[in-house]
Structure 1
Amino acid sequence: MKTILAGGLAALVLVAGILPAAAQTVEFTVINNSSYDLHYFYTTPSSENSWGEDLLGDTGVLSAGHEATATIGDGSDQCLYDFKFVMDNGAELIEPSIDICTLSSYTIND
């Protein structure tokens, strides 16, 4: 009986150790190759129905022709994310199902 219980606890500890490691923080470069300043950049796992916080945060604006590092650290283990960009002219660009697990950069074009 003790052997079975010990084996079960060892398996539980192993699974518990794996689960937090599955959550990820992903960094990639956003390149604003458009002729408009980017004012807001929202992301969400593709399986969700609401946008997360603005990734530009306090920096506020990614000017046309510039690039910056974006960090997604929401604790999700998902690879497919939807992106929403809001430009200074009010235009919104929504890009669905971006694989952030393999993403090193993302370019916004006109």
Structure 2
Amino acid sequence: MITRALALLAVGCLFSSAAAAFNGYVEVTNDTGYDIHYLYVSPAHAGDWQEDVLDEDILPDGHTVRVTVRKAKGSVYDIRAEDEDGDTYTLWDVDIAKRDVTFTLDDID
């Protein structure tokens, strides 16, 4: 009886943690030498980019912005920046629960 109760408890915990939404953030640092005018943070393999998280702001070279994610299905994201010249920098499959992002010229597409 106790073994069955423990097994049911373990299964319940498995499903409740899988259904839990991810809440967190990623800090994005611009070390490209150029101002970033657009920044997109989309769930990995979403098929399209979410809205620009900078809105009408820019991310100057040498600065950092914190992007908050709420009620997401997971913590793995694709992140794209676009600088003042229209050059793009893309990082794929970033687990934002484990690391922040710094864009450099090495990341240019």
Alignment TM-score > 0.5, same fold: yes
| Structure 1 residues 53-96: Cα deviation after superposition (integer angstroms, max 9, x where no partner) | 111124x10001111212123x3222221111111110011211
CA contact (8 A) 1:55 1:71 kept: no
CA contact (8 A) 1:81 1:99 kept: yes
> 1:20 deviation in Å?
9.6
- Map 1:11-90 onto structure 2 (within 5 A): 18=16, 22-58=20-56, 60-73=57-70, 75-90=71-86
**TM-score normalized with structure 1 length:** 0.72
- How many residues are treated as equivalent by the alignment? 94
> 1:108 deviation in Å?
0.9
What is the distance in 2 between the residues matched to 1:68 and 1:21? 29
Structure 1: runs of 5 or more not aligned: 1-10
Decide which structure has greater strand share. 2
Identity between Structure 1 and Structure 2 (%): 27
3-state SS of 1:32 partner = strand
> 1:98 deviation in Å?
0.6
Structure 2: runs of 5 or more not aligned: 1-8
**TM-score normalized with structure 2 length:** 0.72
Alignment root-mean-square deviation, CA: 2.4
Runs of 4+ in 1 over 4 A off after TM superposition: none
Deviates more, 1:21-30 or 1:32-41: 21-30
3-state SS of 1:36 partner = coil
